[in-house]
């Protein structure tokens, strides 16, 4: 082959390889291979500038360079999965009723509120969020429904977008994990542990079916030895700054995050209502990339 032609073809092909690497790839590499770095999760997306669980709040988390965006899923009357924390829409839209009382189209008529005032944001679908987050950020799905068809639909949508590796599927009852993995073993499940005993059950379960990438723990039963036994095996430990620690942080810079680090030193995923502040804090401490 003509050398000039070969060089031209190589020059053309190189950017294609480079394009295969996305911001999400870099985050996943940190998540999997750098447990010494603490990952930041934005609770209900970055909702300090925009309505919680809105597309704008999700986009803001991406723009801020946050590692994980946490969203909540409910199902509409016509079986569309949408972002909403509460079972009702009253707090976030000012309208009466539950999410399941309305069709998706009907919900689009209600602006989301921010600090009590209507915005141009409306309740987004899970499909919309998957489209704007693909290749950009890890998505933590806090699944609020108890319907198996709804859960299967969520799994199907994740797979349809090729985002199996990029999503964490959060569950409150770790006993449901085997069922979820039987649907699609490529979608990581994050179980919630409410006690030391449940940690032991989850670890036994992991020994049989493969480890969980992260376990959601609690500062109330945290101990360094317990968490080290988890992280040594390559599993991350998720803790919330929500409530006590975020309140301290809102009153004085670094106070809440310093206290959480004292109480749960080896937790290496932290969910907060102040993700941008936490990210800056961790970088100052050399605890984030």
Please name every residue paired with 118 in a beta bridge, in sequence order, or none if there are none: 113
Q: Given a cut of 50, is residue 30 above it in pLDDT? A: yes
Q: At what angle do helices 255-263 and 244-251 cross, to 10 degrees?
A: 150
What Å distances lie between residue 183 and 57, 112, 155, 156, 191, CA to CA? 30, 34, 8, 9, 16
Write the burial class of residue 166 (CB in 10 Å: 0-12 exposed, 13-18 middle, 19+ buried): buried
Given a cut of 70, whether residue 1 has pLDDT beyond it is: no
Per the listing, tokens 């032609």 go with: 5
pTM across the whole model: 0.91
Longest dimension (CA), the chain: 71
What values do phi and psi take at 41, rounded to 5? -115, 130
Report the share of the chain in percent with pLDDT over 70.
93
For residue 138, name the pLDDT band (cuts at 50, 70, 90).
very high
Q: Give the pLDDT confidence of 154-213 residue by residue, as tens digits.
A: 999 999 999 999 999 999 999 999 999 999 999 999 999 999 999 999 999 988 777 899
Task: Please tell me the predicted confidence (pLDDT) of residue 20.
Answer: 66
Is residue 202 a contact partner of residue 180, using CB atoms and an 8 Å limit? Answer: no
DSSP β-bridge partners for residue 42: 69, 272
The pLDDT value recorded for residue 19 is 53
Residue 221 pLDDT exceeds 50: yes
Cβ atoms of residues 140 and 158 within 8 Å: no
Per-residue model confidence (pLDDT) at position 78: 98
Q: Give the span between the Cα atoms of 69 and 41, in whole angstroms.
A: 6
Q: What pLDDT shows up at residue 210?
A: 75
Question: Using an 8 Å Cβ cutoff, are 84 and 72 in contact?
Answer: yes
- Kindly tell me if the per-residue pLDDT of 3 is higher than 70: no
Instruction: Round to whole Å and give the CA distance between 111 and 100.
Output: 17
pLDDT digits (tens, 9 = 90+) for 102-112: 999 999 999 99
- Give pLDDT tens digits for 266-276: 999 999 999 99
- Nearest alpha-carbon partner for 238 in 186, 169, 190, 179: 190
Give the pLDDT score at 147.
Answer: 93
**Given this model, what pLDDT does residue 207 score?**
82
């Amino acid at each position: 082959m003509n050398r000039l032609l070969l060089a031209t073809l190589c020059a053309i092909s190189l950017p294609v390889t480079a394009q295969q690497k996305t911001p999400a790839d870099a985050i996943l590499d940190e998540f999997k291979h750098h447990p010494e770095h603490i990952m930041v999760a934005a609770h209900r997306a970055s909702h300090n500038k925009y309505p919680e669980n809105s597309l704008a709040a999700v986009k803001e988390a991406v723009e801020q360079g946050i590692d994980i965006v946490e969203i909540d899923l409910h199902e509409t009357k016509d079986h569309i999965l949408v972002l909403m924390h509460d079972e009702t829409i009253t707090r976030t839209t000012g309208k009466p009723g539950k999410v399941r009382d309305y069709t998706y189209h009907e919900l689009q008529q209600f602006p989301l509120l921010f600090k009590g005032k209507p915005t141009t944001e409306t309740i987004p679908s899970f499909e919309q969020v998957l489209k704007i987050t693909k290749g950009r950020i890890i998505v933590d799905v806090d699944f609020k429904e108890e319907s198996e068809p709804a859960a299967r639909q969520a799994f199907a949508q994740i797979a349809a977008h090729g985002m199996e590796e990029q999503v964490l599927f959060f569950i409150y009852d770790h006993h449901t994990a085997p069922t979820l993995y039987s649907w699609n073993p490529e979608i990581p499940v994050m179980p919630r542990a409410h006690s030391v005993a449940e940690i032991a059950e989850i670890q036994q379960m992991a020994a049989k079916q493969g480890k969980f990438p992260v376990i959601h723990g609690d500062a109330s039963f945290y101990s360094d030895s317990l968490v080290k036994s988890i992280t040594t095996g390559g599993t991350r430990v998720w803790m919330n700054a929500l409530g006590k620690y975020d309140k301290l942080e809102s009153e004085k810079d670094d106070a809440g995050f310093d206290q959480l680090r004292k109480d749960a030193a080896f937790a290496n995923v932290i969910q907060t209502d102040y993700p941008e502040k936490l990210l800056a804090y961790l970088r100052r401490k050399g605890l984030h990339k």
